[in-house]
Chain A
Amino acid sequence: MKKKTKQNISMLLFTLPALIVYAVFKLIPAISGIYYSMTDWNGLGKGFDMVGLDNFKEILSDKYYWQSILFTLKYVIVMIIVANLIALLLAATIESRQRAKGLFRTIFFMPNMISMIIGGYMWMFIFTKVLYYMADNWGMTFFDKSWIGDPKYAFIAIIIVASWGSVGYLMIFYMAAFQGVPMNLKEAASLDGANSWQTFRHVVLPLIQNAVTICIFWTLNAGFQVFDVVYALTGGGPGRATQTAAINIYEEAFRGNVRYGYATAKSTVLFVIVMLFTAIQLRLMKRKEQEL
């Protein structure tokens, strides 16, 4: 009994620094956010009134907000598929190499170390300058698309940049999972006459299911909150065609009528949506995981 308390205290001490940071920068703002979502605070004035659930009622008929949620949903779905497939492919390719594993791992992980806002501006330069230069001077006319102005191509551009930034991170998870697959199982499979695809599909994939769960969870979560890539590339434009939920909230809070209270209500709704989606995803995928 005594030993247990001691252990608990020492564990608490270890986590305390992280816990304090988490509480101060995440927990307290999140809780006070729910309070502010029921006010009409404009972020500038020193006073505000409680308006109860009026903000939430207004959200129900806010066309642009639901449009941005739909766009975000589309982004999340495409990102889950594209980013995870590429990451899985990269991990498998690199893992199967005999030499220079470290080099490739570093190269593909590199974009993850650059802030996405900077990465976004870098890609903006590529889309608005480099590609047009190639189209005009080297005859690569298929690059001559309206990469920012046409919502269709803007979406492709956003997916390219977002995948570029996140694939390296996901790849690390998958590589670690690959390394955890016991060699003898793969050997047994090949002795039984399975080709490499069959081995992957029926032996490796079930065993890395937990990595898949984590990676999809991460993409889902990060995707719903996407801001920097889109902000740097298109700013949500043309008009509101590529506006994500986070950008819609940002504009409500800092632009136009500067409605902090209403914007906070919108983020509360977004929080509930994200929570629902991740809870469902975790439930569904946990069931599939295999234990060795």
Chain B
Amino acid sequence: MKKIFGLMLTACMVLSMTACGSQSASTTAPAETKAQATAGTTAATTATAEPREAELNIMMSFPQYMDQWETYCKQFEDKMLAEENIKVKVNLEMPSSDQYESVLQARLSSGDAPDLYTLHSNNIATYYKAGNLTDLSGEALAGKIYDNVKATVTQDGKLLAVPIESQAWGVLYNKDIFKECGLAVPETLDELKNVCAVLTEKGYTPFMLAYQEQWVPQLMTALTLGGKVSGEIPDWVDRMYKDEGSYAEVKDIFGPIDLIMQNGTDRAMETGSEAGSADFANGKAAMYVQGTWASGTIMTTNPEMNLGVFALPINNNKADTLVNLSTSTTLAVYPESKEMDLALKFANYVLDDKDSSALFEACSFNPLASCHTFTPSSWVADASAYVAAGRSYQDLVLPQAVTDEQGKLLQEYYVKSITQDEFISQMDAVFKEANKQA
């Protein structure tokens, strides 16, 4: 009795294991039968052929635009079925932006790469070297992208990714509060100090601080370094890469950083970026160092919000007061994709003449190709005005380790566990280490 029972148990276990193993075999079976079926029908009638079934895996790093992209993928599925007679199933994955890179790297190195994936334009060089990008120069989309944007996604004369988010950004501010206090947009650090003083006097908190996620405080170094370096010491980044520069040269960046930290909301370390955006939308503070990508959350929280953008002043040199113009998110095609043809079709569809405009407007991305014909939102127009006046800089390309470290150290600087000098020496060391590893 016991023996039989034991035998049955082992049988169960073995069965359950083999069941898992055979799954892959069973999924391919219907495809084969379908192929046989289509073969049979094509002999009779070629016109009403069964649609070919295909899957396209796409991974993107902006969960805040999940709805818009899901709709767009649906449109793509319909379009493919109608035009190419292919029944595509688009699997859209959106890991949170904090973990996106780790997930992507794990997938790439384990041979489970998505057919299309987004990456930051700063990483194009690395991914290109590793052989993870497809040359898109020959595609129809290449002719549509504006030249200054195209330059940010091109290497060795090859167009390596489709730009998606190319934006000008600086400090977000609440136009209604500024109007009520009779304030103008600050151009110098002294003017910014004055703005803070007036706001405090009128009972408003000047800055929204949301430092729980390290990338948010990091935005301050992105803006201040960008302005300072582009305005005064344009060779700083090059010298840093040659171990010949130092953060001591850009010590000015602490001017606005200190001002922001002193005039900010409480409990910064307990506030995440989304919560910060929502609080800012509800008028908890008048300004928020955050990119225009946060506008989605802000406008859903408070559709009445009068949102504006100004350039963060670094010091009293107006030449340093610039907005950041950068291509951040781009879409790349994996060269070993099983559905290469479809992947390229999707890449082209992102800049489709008919549908792309609506998508870019819905996500409030900046227009970046000739197919974009919408009028941008007020805050995008604000930032674009700086760009049009020549007051913008191209995002500095720093090693990822340096960017990460800046976020970490700013958190520590905020909780006062390090000083300015420690910040500087630590950043110099990290930059050198990153150079050594590269």
Residues of A within 8 A of B (CB): 10, 13-14, 16-17, 20, 43-46, 127-128, 132, 146-151, 235, 237-241, 251, 254-259
Contact = CB atoms under 8 A, between A and B. Distances in A.
A46 B213 CA distance: 32
Nearest to A146: B269
A149 B132 CA distance: 39
Nearest to A251: B404
A46 B130 contact: yes
Contact of A239 (B9, B268, B400, B417): B417
B267 A128 contact: yes
A149 B130 contact: no
A202 to B, nearest CB: 42
A175 to B, nearest CB: 28
B105 A254 contact: yes
Contact of A13 (B10, B108, B267, B405): B10
Interface in B218-276: 267-272, 275
Contact of B412 (A16, A127, A238, A251): A238
Contacts of A257: 399-401, 433-434, 437
Contacts of A258: 105, 400
Contacts of B43: none
A239 B434 contact: no
B293 interface: no
B interface, size bucket: 35 or more
A10, A128, A148, A238: residue with the most chain B Cβ atoms closer than 10 Å: A238
Contacts of A255: 101-102, 400-401, 404
B408 A237 contact: yes
B109 A241 contact: no
B270 A254 contact: no
Contacts of A44: 105, 108-109, 126, 130, 132
Interface of B: 6, 9-10, 13-14, 17, 101-102, 105-106, 108-109, 126, 129-132, 211-214, 267-272, 275, 399-401, 404-405, 408-409, 411-412, 414-415, 417-418, 433-434, 437
B417 A241 contact: yes
A16 B126 CA distance: 44
A148 B212 contact: yes
Contacts of A13: 10
Contacts of B106: 254
A239 B270 contact: no
Contacts of B434: 256-257
Contact of B213 (A235, A240, A259): A235
Given A14-B6, A44-B105, A149-B269, 6 more contacts: A10-B6, A44-B108, A149-B415, A251-B404, A255-B101, A257-B437
11 contacts: A132-B270, A146-B267, A149-B268, A149-B415, A235-B213, A238-B412, A238-B415, A241-B412, A241-B415, A254-B101, A258-B400
A128 B271 contact: yes
B267 A132 contact: yes
A-B CB proximity, top 9 nearest? A149-B269, A239-B412, A256-B401, A254-B102, A128-B270, A238-B411, A257-B437, A238-B415, A257-B401
Contacts of A149: 211, 267-270, 414-415
A256 B405 contact: yes
A237 B269 CA distance: 9
